[in-house]
Homo-oligomer: A and B are copies of this chain.
Amino acid sequence: MLSGISRRSRALRGHVFPKPLPNSSSINLARLPPALLRPRRFMCRNAASDNEEVAAKAAAKIADTGAPTIFDKIIAKEIPSTIVYEDDKVLAFRDINPQAPVHIVVIPKIRDGLTQLGKAEVRHAEVLGHLLFAAKLVAEKEGIVDGFRVVINNGPEACQSVYHLHLHVLGGRQLKWPPG
């Protein structure tokens, strides 16, 4: 886990250092659809270009196939991540392309059809509540409980890039309005 000091200095430099994915000798990344391995920074950044929208739409098509996502590898701990909270239902880890000094992704460990919030059914209400409560626990652990934003992207127009429901928890800086 990154220390508060290193996170702060990284934010002050105004850019981020995504952790490298492990090389293919240890994990067969070829089995994951290429669009899911594309760094999010190339998608939906500021004014979304035609190319970015095409990429997001491609990811959406993969979603409908029920294909595994990079989150399956993170849950299985086959790809390293910096986990900040975990219980029997959810996992929370640092975003590899943080958009704020603190930027955590919270996911259900079992996708159960929840490729995105728009697929939620009544039976999912319990895990949805658990995810939001976990977001609050994460904010407490990260020392941002007095100032944080939770964001859920659904579909290409909202810049969703991984089709496994996830909540972004952002904080540690003044967030702006509108939210994207």
State the A residues within 8 Å of B (CB). Answer: 40, 43-48, 53, 99-100, 117-118, 120, 122, 124-133, 135-136, 139-140, 144-159, 168, 170-171, 173-180
Collect the chain B residues with CB atoms within 8 Å of residue A140's CB.
118
The chain B residue sitting closest to A40, CB to CB, is B177
Most central of A100, A129, A139 by chain B CB within 10 Å: A129
Collect the chain B residues with CB atoms within 8 Å of residue A179's CB.
99, 149, 151, 153, 168, 170, 175, 179-180
The chain B residue sitting closest to A144, CB to CB, is B157
CA distance A125 to B87 in the complex (A): 15
A-B contacts, 18 of them at CB < 8 A, read A44-B175, A99-B178, A117-B135, A118-B140, A125-B126, A125-B129, A126-B129, A128-B132, A128-B133, A132-B132, A132-B152, A145-B154, A147-B156, A148-B155, A149-B152, A150-B152, A151-B151, A151-B179
